[in-house]
Copies of this chain bind each other. A is one copy, B any other.
């Protein structure tokens, strides 16, 4: 049922000559209004007599009836107001891509559905985050994206979950926790970094092709020592574009078919994660780490026409799905002011063998390297960057898991006039397989890309 919690408040009066504050009106006093109480209910005078030197006989004689009545019901411990338990924030990304060379009109990229033919403005992400420390031992994080499209719908911008998890803290210092729900899989540094903070427009395919939407449903354990928690927090708040706290060490199990997809076998994927942010004497941060995951993935197949032959590939794998396992390593030298960032992954996964018309486990490899520089001034923050990425391996999420070849260079600049607004412009030279449609051609093209992001 709908119920509204009553708010405690007091009226304040200021003596206009002395500027002293009073709790009731009087000569020369001006009313300032009602002021809000946060987390606590007032203790009645009778209750404070337990304290040795505090209460006096005069107190009760002047106590107002309203206060007494209020305090009678305040024996229970104080509870936080709802808006102190949870907070709401979010961000909105709007894009525009302009073809500037090659076959750019035929390009397709998993990271941006507004690349390609007949495109105008696009809302890439419209995120709303509901999060908070509900109790000392439980925090929640619910993040829908309002730029999602259900399969088969001709209109988009529906709300679909990205994150929906709880952190159950196991110790007072919040260094050990169990995370349960749909959350990011701790594999790959850039995958863990929020798109709100990423400098490049899209994630590198080599790492992003491991986990659909970076997330899955499962149970995870994370450990972060107190000092390292503060480092992770600083690396985000400072504008250095950190990844947030996914533990110095993390381990977990999850369904394995990707965010918002039902599981399709009776086996769970498992993942292990290490990352450590070193802090040098001069204040420079350097983060290094490695991750690995393993499981069985069920590929979706469908009819494809390649070189004049139409076929639906068979999948050469047990009923539980194809072997799907990768290891990755990352190094991030934070932009203070010059920065460098690189990741590499190798592994095995299901991939279409066109010649044999079969999907079978094959090896894959790829990664990226990025350099960036952070200028700070009255104009805000300016960060030019250049990123090179490569990938040779399957796009397992796509029908028939076609082989994906990516070689891409992007150079751009992000301008943050304030914490709330970011404008990025980039030039990209893409050479990538169109994995969305057979015959899975490789396209070359150049794009001018723009993004406006607002944070709230």
**Residues of A participating in the B interface, judged by any CB pair closer than 8 Å:** 1-5, 7-12, 14, 16-45, 48, 51, 53-56, 58-63, 67, 78, 81-90, 92, 94, 117-123, 126, 128, 130-135, 137-142, 144, 146-161, 164-168, 180-182, 217-219, 232-233, 244-246, 254-256, 259-266, 268, 417-421, 452, 454-456
Contacts and interface: CB of A to CB of B under 8 A. Distances in A.
Contacts of A156: 260-262
Contacts of A233: 3
Nearest to A113: B262
Given A14-B23, A36-B36, A160-B155, A30 B48 contact: yes
B421 A138 contact: yes
Given A86-B89, A119-B263, 11 more contacts: A27-B55, A28-B56, A33-B38, A33-B42, A83-B87, A122-B217, A123-B161, A128-B130, A137-B421, A152-B153, A168-B421
Interface centre among A7, A11, A32, A39 (most CB of B within 10 A): A32
Nearest to A30: B45
A45 B67 contact: no
A123 B33 contact: no
B132 A456 contact: yes
B31 A48 contact: yes
A88 B20 CA distance: 36
A9 B39 contact: yes
Nearest to A70: B33
B151 A151 contact: no
Contacts of A264: 118
B3 A456 contact: no
A155 to B, nearest CB: 4
A21 B20 contact: yes
A260 B104 CA distance: 24
A428 B335 CA distance: 56
A35 to B, nearest CB: 6
15 contacts: A1-B246, A16-B56, A25-B54, A28-B56, A30-B59, A32-B42, A33-B37, A33-B41, A33-B42, A82-B83, A90-B130, A92-B142, A120-B255, A121-B219, A166-B421
A370 B58 CA distance: 54
A333 B342 CA distance: 63
A449 to B, nearest CB: 16
Given A131-B3, A152-B152, A421-B138, A120 B263 contact: yes
Interface centre among A182, A233, A419 (most CB of B within 10 A): A182
A34 B37 contact: yes
A132 B89 CA distance: 11
A167 B1 CA distance: 9
A152 B454 CA distance: 33
B92 A38 contact: no
B53 A27 contact: yes
Nearest to A244: B1
Contact of A268 (B12, B29, B120): B120
A180 B422 CA distance: 13
A233 B417 CA distance: 29
A110 B422 CA distance: 39
List the 8 closest A-B pairs by CB distance, nearest first: A120-B263, A4-B133, A150-B153, A2-B139, A16-B62, A157-B161, A120-B255, A159-B159
A225 to B, nearest CB: 15
A154 B9 CA distance: 48
